[in-house]
Amino acid sequence: MGESIYGLKRSHRCAELDIANVGQKVTVMGWVHKRRDLGGVIFIDLRDRSGVLQVVFNSAISSDLFNKAETLRNEYVIALNGEVVKRDPDTVNPKIKTGEIEVMASELRILSSAETPPIYIEEDSDVNETLRLKYRYLDLRRPDMQQNFFLRHKVTKLARDYYDVNGFLEIETPILQKSTPEGARDYLVPSRVHPGRFYALPQSPQLFKQLLMVSGFDRYMQIAKCFRDEDLRADRQPEFTQIDLEMSFVNVEDVIEVNEGFVKKVFKETLDVDLGTAPFIRMPYQEAMDRFGSDKPDIRFGMELVNLSDIVSESGFKVFADAVRNGGSVRAINAKGCARIFSRREIDSLVEFVKTYKAKGMAWIAVEENELKSAITKFLTEDEVNKILDRVKAEPGDLICFCADKNKIVYDSLGQLRLEIARRLNLLNKNEFKFLWVTQFPLFEYDEEEKRWVAVHHPFTSPMDEDIQYLDTDPGKVRAKAYDIVLNGTELGGGSIRIHSSELQAKMFRLIGISEEQAAERFGFLLEAFKYGTPPHGGMAFGLDRLIMLMAGKSSIRDVIAFPKVQNASCLMSNAPDIVEPKQLKELHIRSDV
């Protein structure tokens, strides 16, 4: 395996050895993970990407070799020859794959010495993330981190194999392309040979994959790098990776079916998790909002939203009645058993929590055996209280949490509140995988600042056939042929059936305020292509980083990206972005005043 190093050639990786190799002469190489000197005998835990192997240096066999082993320190890189021997029964280590054997060293080469690392190279090390990212090359030596990238490798290989079998061609699309509006700021690249003009790094391959359908390739896929200049969070990075797909002559069901098959195959072959043969739950957007307050609902637990607007619309409690009268709603969640679990201080903290989502506050009722504890029941009639308790299926010990406001605020507040309560109750099991498809998203949303309709996804998303009639009269009623796949409250991917009719595309542009001139300027090359025969087509993209994050049980995509950025989009390890020489700026016709 590989070329010889100082006369030695590696015969095995560390954890490739087991009881079957006893008696064999082997050559292994790696890092010194731990060193234990027991006086006359030195034990070295040798580590490489496969795992850990115990190596023994015995002074009774070779004092020179023993003396050399005494100089070893953690993270030295070494190569050694030796014989695989069986451990004594009382020294077997069942925690590691090689725990039944050890190697009696007969030759040692020190390939590289090492300073004391600034972070611990050990599994699940509790090290400050800033330090981990500054020394990322050391952080990546940790076995648990390496497992994340073994998983990532397997998933990307499975993706290529699965889509190949299903008739997809992997085709690369440009990294340097024209800037087009896709919902986030572009990263711009100045052109040296075209002064004052800029390329943009792709936010997605959207337009090019549609052009590939026009080109007749029928089914396209790509493991695609994408770039968005937007604020970062745990599941968002300025550069990220998509499993990107497009298909011709398909409807929504066709796209969902082939991609659901991919998800089931990946989970079975990498995690041995059987997601079953039944289709994933399909949930229209409005149902998801009404039941969970979110278009990416976490369905691992209940605590669903309940609409109480009809019960309290004429209530003496002004907050409730006014919300309904002003076109909003009153909704509640039943936190089962939480009246017994949460102290008054914890309930007050929930009130403050919903305020971060623009709610003015949170009303609540604690249901006890023979009474109700609440500041609002005195404003409600006995009939209203009973109807509320009946609708939310209240039992003694339950905590009923209410929000009354505009629908968006109610959805956001209660949707986040149910997640917060679930976190406090430890209901979010990382080893439980609950998938669903959210469908029938609104095609448009109204921008109050600009006083116009805007596309919820992108302007090439097709409306549902039965809703085309509302385009001219009531755009807010138009649903899209769009779909997102959601896992445990995280959007894993999404897509849509595209518009392939020139007339419908022109109407779409008019509705969102894009003139013919603007359309030609922004999307001219695509619209020109559409004149020459365009098949019906649709597709989607999976967020590969998010998929791996959830499969690995991590809470941040930084743990599954080899060299990620931090909150301000900088790299702590390489110090990017950085200043450049004035000569480089001059060549690009750029002047910096910073």
Q: What is the reported pLDDT for 203?
A: 93
pLDDT at 308 over 80: yes
Residue-wise pLDDT tens digits, 202-219: 999 999 999 999 999 999
Tell me the pairing of strands 452-455 and 329-335.
unpaired
Three-class secondary structure of residue 256 per DSSP: helix
Q: How far is CA 552 from the centre of its chain?
A: 11
**DSSP track, 539-555:** EEEEEHHHHHHHHTT-S
pLDDT at 100 over 70: yes
pLDDT at 506 over 90: no
Look over the chain and give the mean of its residue pLDDT values, rounded to a whole number: 94
Q: Are residues 480 and 474 in contact, defined by beta-carbon separation less than 8 angstroms?
A: no
- How is the chain split among helix, strand and coil, in percent rounded to 5? 35, 25, 40
At what angle are helices 143-165 and 252-271 packed, to 10 degrees?
140
φ, ψ dihedrals at 386, nearest 5°: -65, -40
Structure tokens, 126: 């509790």
Question: Look-up: residue for tokens 């590289």?
Answer: 112
Percent of the chain, pLDDT > 70? 98
Q: Are residues 226 and 204 in contact, defined by beta-carbon separation less than 8 angstroms?
A: yes
Of the pLDDT bands very low, low, confident and very high (cuts 50, 70, 90), residue 2 is very low
Query: Residues with Cβ < 8 Å from 427, sequence gap 6 or more?
Result: 300, 301
Query: Residues with Cβ < 8 Å from 352, sequence gap 6 or more?
Result: none
CA dist 296 and 288 (Å) reads 8
Q: What is the reported pLDDT for 593?
A: 79
- Residue 187: Cβ within 10 Å count: 18
Structure tokens, 363: 């009303």
Question: Look-up: residue for tokens 């995280």?
Answer: 490
pLDDT at 13 over 60: yes
Q: What is the reported pLDDT for 1?
A: 42
Q: State whether the Cα torsion 567-573-575-581 is positive or negative.
A: negative
CA dist 67 and 59 (Å) reads 8
Q: Are residues 142 and 122 in contact, defined by beta-carbon separation less than 8 angstroms?
A: yes
Three-class secondary structure of residue 528 per DSSP: helix
Mean of the pLDDT values across residues 470-494? 95
| 126 against 271, higher pLDDT | 271
Residue-wise pLDDT tens digits, 412-431: 999 999 999 999 999 999 99
pTM metric for this prediction: 0.92
Alpha helices for 318-381 (secondary structure H): 318-325, 338-341, 344-355
Q: What is the reported pLDDT for 573?
A: 96
The amino acid that residue 393 corresponds to is K
| Residue 265 burial (C-beta neighbours within 10 Å; 0-12, 13-18, 19+) | middle
| Residue 291 burial (C-beta neighbours within 10 Å; 0-12, 13-18, 19+) | middle
Of the pLDDT bands very low, low, confident and very high (cuts 50, 70, 90), residue 4 is low
Of the pLDDT bands very low, low, confident and very high (cuts 50, 70, 90), residue 26 is very high
Q: Are residues 447 and 441 in contact, defined by beta-carbon separation less than 8 angstroms?
A: no
DSSP state of 288: H
Of the pLDDT bands very low, low, confident and very high (cuts 50, 70, 90), residue 181 is low
Residue-wise pLDDT tens digits, 559-582: 999 999 998 999 999 999 999 999
pLDDT at 514 over 90: no
- Residue 362: Cβ within 10 Å count: 21
CA distances from 94 to 49, 50, 98, 154 (A): 19, 16, 8, 27
Q: Are residues 570 and 577 in contact, defined by beta-carbon separation less than 8 angstroms?
A: yes
Of the pLDDT bands very low, low, confident and very high (cuts 50, 70, 90), residue 515 is confident
The residue length of the chain stands at: 594
Mean of the pLDDT values across residues 489-497? 96
